[in-house]
């Protein structure tokens, strides 16, 4: 759904400009391993200086301040044409140009800059957050190794900036951070991995818990995303690291139960982690506060869907190939059965009402 018209469409000159841009060749994408040293014309060092005073990501090849301003202005014009121009030809041309732009090196700098720009409208924020997310997922190896820390800092700043929304923009930033975690080793997150890093941030900056909680939910989901162009061995290592942090993740989710407005998100996160990793014992789950919360929520309309999702994952847990024998599973099964049977009766009553 397009956002309602808010300003006049581009001029005829801009129309001609976009038709020309449609034919403009773009620099080829850079494939292969990340370089251990910055490319000759990279501005990573410049970014580091800018960032201290509120600058933006500067890992682009030959992308100076003047070029950044020009590219940023063109992206804004293209988005205005895409959403507001009355001519279908212009909208199509703008759409094609923007899609091509997302595959360029310039997209790193421009997307990051506009996301940090307080004047950017919702259309711009959505496009740039999707662009930055896709760049981290598929084009991370375009960047020199020194770019990780500035990129991490920038994404972290954006995660806090969009703590209260727009929700769709915040989700794109969370996915980008999760993809970044797939690409780099556990040491790059302080030695304890991204879950422990996230736990430290949640404890020290509770005002940003909604953003941190969404990232915690998304992390296990992204392990199976093949939009992330990571090598198999790196992906496997990330999955192992994440699985070993499952108990820490559940502890963080449990801590969030103290916020009533986050209860549905907490249940969603619990289901997400259960789906990803079955390394937790049935005995632990049988007495876990998250299990109790999920089962008791089966009797509420507000949290019914989230509670059913958790219950389904718990049932799957008891029969999964990673589970031990029936004896080990029995404490959890014993707790699940009465609630599941009660849910069956509840669904019968609902069908009669309908």
Whether 332 is covered by a domain: the verdict is yes
pLDDT value at position 92?
94
Residue 40 has pLDDT above 70, yes or no: no
CA distance 31 to 98: 21
Q: Output DSSP code: residue 40.
A: T
- Residue 348: the pLDDT is 63
Q: 129: closest CA among 100, 82, 161, 97?
A: 161
| Inside any domain, residue 22 | no
Mean pLDDT of the chain: 80
Structural domain span for residue 300: 262-354
CA quadruple 60, 168, 124, 225: dihedral, nearest 10 = 30
Confidence of residue 31 (pLDDT cuts 50, 70, 90): very low
For residue 58, what are its two tokens? Answer: 């500067």
Query: Does residue 93 sit in helix, strand or coil?
Result: helix
Over the stretch 224-247, which tens digit does the pLDDT of each residue have? Answer: 888 898 888 999 999 999 998 999
Structure tokens at 1: 């759904």
Mean pLDDT of 48-61: 39
In a domain, 222, yes or no: no
Residue range 203-222, pLDDT digits in tens: 999 999 999 999 999 999 99
Q: Residue 164: inside a domain, yes or no?
A: no
Residues 6+ apart with CB under 8 A from 231: none
pLDDT grade for 289, boundaries at 50, 70 and 90: very high
Q: Per-residue pLDDT for 63 more than 80?
A: no
Residues 119, 124, 126, 131: is their CA dihedral positive or negative? negative
pLDDT, tens digit, 9 for 90 and up, residues 124-154: 999 999 999 999 999 999 998 888 899 999 9
Total number of domains constituting the chain: 1
Q: What percent of the chain has pLDDT over 70?
A: 76
As a whole number of angstroms, the distance between CA 302 and CA 347 comes to: 15
Higher pLDDT, 124 or 284: 124
In a domain, 350, yes or no: yes
Nearest Cα residue to 57 out of 44, 67, 69, 70 = 44
Q: Is residue 266 a part of any domain in this protein? A: yes
Note the helical H segments in the chain.
12-21, 44-52, 65-84, 88-101, 106-116, 122-139, 148-161, 167-183, 193-204, 209-221, 232-244, 246-255, 263-276, 282-286, 289-296, 304-319, 326-353
In a domain, 328, yes or no: yes
- As a whole number, mean pLDDT of residues 172-187 equals 94
Reported pTM: 0.79
**Model pLDDT, residue 324:** 61
How far apart CA 102 and CA 81 sit, in angstroms, is 17
Please report whether residue 63 resides in a domain: no
């Amino acid at each position: 759904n397009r956002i309602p018209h808010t300003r006049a469409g581009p001029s005829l000159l801009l129309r001609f400009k976009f038709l020309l841009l449609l034919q403009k060749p773009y620099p080829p994408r850079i494939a292969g391993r990340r370089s251990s040293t910055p490319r000759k014309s990279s501005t990573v060092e410049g970014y580091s200086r800018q960032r201290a005073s509120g600058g933006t990501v500067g890992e682009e090849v030959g992308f100076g301040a003047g070029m950044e301003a020009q590219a940023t202005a063109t992206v804004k014009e293209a988005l205005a044409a895409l959403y507001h121009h009355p001519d279908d030809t212009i909208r199509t041309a703008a759409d094609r140009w923007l899609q091509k732009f997302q595959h360029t090196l310039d997209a790193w700098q421009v997307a990051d800059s506009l996301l940090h720009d307080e004047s950017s409208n919702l259309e711009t924020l959505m496009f740039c957050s999707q662009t930055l997310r896709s760049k981290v997922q598929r084009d991370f190896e375009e960047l020199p190794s020194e770019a990780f820390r500035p990129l991490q800092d920038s994404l972290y700043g954006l995660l806090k900036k969009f703590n209260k929304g727009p929700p769709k923009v915040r989700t794109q930033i969370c996915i980008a951070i999760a993809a970044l975690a797939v690409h780099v080793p556990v040491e790059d997150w302080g030695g304890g991995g991204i879950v422990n890093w996230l736990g430290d941030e949640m404890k020290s900056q509770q005002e940003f818990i909604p953003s941190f909680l969404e990232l915690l939910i998304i992390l296990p989901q992204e392990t199976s995303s093949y939009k992330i162009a990571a090598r198999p061995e790196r992906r496997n290592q990330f999955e192992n690291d994440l699985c070993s942090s499952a108990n820490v993740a559940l502890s963080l989710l449990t801590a969030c139960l103290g916020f009533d407005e986050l209860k549905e998100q907490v249940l969603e996160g619990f289901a997400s982690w259960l789906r990803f990793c079955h390394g937790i014992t049935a005995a632990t789950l049988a007495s876990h506060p998250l299990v109790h919360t999920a089962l008791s929520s089966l009797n509420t309309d507000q949290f019914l869907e989230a509670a059913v999702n958790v219950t389904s994952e718990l049932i799957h847990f008891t029969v999964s190939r990673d589970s031990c024998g029936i004896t080990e599973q029995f404490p959890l099964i014993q707790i699940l059965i009465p609630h599941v049977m009660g849910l069956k009766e509840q669904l019968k009553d609902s069908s009669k009402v309908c």
